Amino acid sequence: MAVLGVFIVALAAGSPTHAAGQSLAGGAAKPYLQQSTEVISARLADQLGVKLAPNQADELAIGASVTSSLVDAGKLASFGVRDVRAGARVTITRIAADRVRLEIDEMDPTPRTTKVTLRIDNEGRLTPVL
């Protein structure tokens, strides 16, 4: 039993680890800055030029989505989405802590879906993923 206790103490005394599992021994690891987990749906909608449908969640958790309608196609154009019309259905899905996926569905003049992934920075601003 004493041998097991010594083994556990020796295992626990190993080099310290960092958030990403990197060793801090020798100061070689870079600090990991965790992004805020709170993403406000209304702030995303404002940047994208969409109007959220009624009763959508205020905060967009990872794996969750909100539905909206396109109001200002020019704002979407700044993210590389062109040739979409006002009124298109826009679904915003948070696929990771720092990314959202947009699906823009149009019915007129012909049915089509456009998809794009955007990055969310620490301030909540959206930028295209290249």
The per-residue pLDDT for range 41-61, each reduced to its tens digit, is: 999 999 999 999 999 999 999
Instruction: Give the number of C-alpha atoms closer than 13 A to the C-alpha of residue 39, restricted to the C-beta side.
Output: 30
Distance CA(51)–CA(69), nearest Å, equals: 5
Domain map (residue ranges) of the chain: 1-32, 41-128
pLDDT reading at 35 higher than 90? no
Distance CA(47)–CA(4), nearest Å, equals: 58
CB 60 within 8 A of CB 39: yes
Residue 130: per-residue pLDDT: 79
The residue with greater pLDDT, 72 or 31, is: 72
Instruction: Give the number of C-alpha atoms closer than 13 A to the C-alpha of residue 100, restricted to the C-beta side.
Output: 31
Average pLDDT for 9-20: 43
The residue with greater pLDDT, 11 or 2, is: 2
Residue 33: per-residue pLDDT: 44
Average pLDDT for 86-115: 95
